[in-house]
A = this chain, B = another copy of it.
Amino acid sequence: MIICKTKSEIQGALAKRRQAGETIAAVPTMGALHEGHLSLIDVANEISDQVVATIFVNPLQFGANEDFGTYPRTVESDLELLKARGCNFAFTPDRNDLFPADFSTKISVAGVGEDHCALSRPQFFDGVATIVTKLLMILSPDVAVFGEKDYQQLAVIKRLVRDLDIATEIVGAPTVRESDGLAMSSRNQYLSVEERNVAPALYKALTAAAEKLHSADHNWSEIRDASIEQLLGAGFSSVDYLHFVDAFSLAHIEKVDRPGRLLAAAWIGKTRLIDNVPVEAA
């Protein structure tokens, strides 16, 4: 695996593969890699000749009171994991290489980038949209692979790539879960043993709610209220949101008359977890 720290290094390295006629898949990450990320490397390897993973904790997507400073940084072990998984290139840029002092451009995605996680993290998707666009411009990959675990993020990226006519195909890959159903996340390591025991209730509540939506005479607001009670009863401290949405537009819906998605964010102590499940059209 070739490790590049600068834009010019990675561009030079990838240009050679492209000239050799090979396709390139990108897997942008913030590091602190777990099996969820590594599954994206597998997907990327299946659909392209060369895989480039990026590791960069993007300051733009953290709010002032969020965990940018404490976000886990484990670059050395991340690189070992990527290499062992068959990743071909790792791009680990410096903040200064990506963001000159007078950097001043922002990409915003209305609609799919509003509501849901944007309610409590108003700057988050602008930050994601801007860094992902930059990485796609630097790497010019044929495809880029993102996890469905961050479902709204995936929708935002698909939308901006379509809207801006960026020549990269965006591929979503299924959420990888622990054996008890908890979606893998770099933030799971913030959880104490007690909190970790509470955490699987999020996926349980979502799957139960999705099932109830397929019962006759279901009422979404009743299902939602019961699910929130279930989460709080299981030990969650608070629920940011639990939304039933159109799987593509992320607009709120109440009926299973089209492909839908249940999206949720909830807190256990000081840790915010998100998860989502599909709701098939009836």
Contacts and interface: CB of A to CB of B under 8 A. Distances in A.
8 tightest Cβ-Cβ pairs between the two chains A and B: A105-B163, A137-B165, A104-B110, A104-B111, A105-B160, A106-B108, A138-B165, A134-B165
Interface residues of A, number: 30
- Copies of this chain present: 2
A7 B163 contact: no
B104 A134 contact: no
Given A7-B165, A164-B137, A167-B140, A107 B107 contact: yes
Interface in A136-166: 137-138, 140, 159-160, 162-166
A58 B104 CA distance: 23
Interface of A: 7, 100, 102-113, 129-130, 133-134, 137-138, 140, 159-160, 162-167, 249
A41 B108 CA distance: 33
Given A102-B111, A104-B163, A137-B165, 5 more contacts: A100-B163, A103-B163, A105-B159, A106-B108, A107-B107
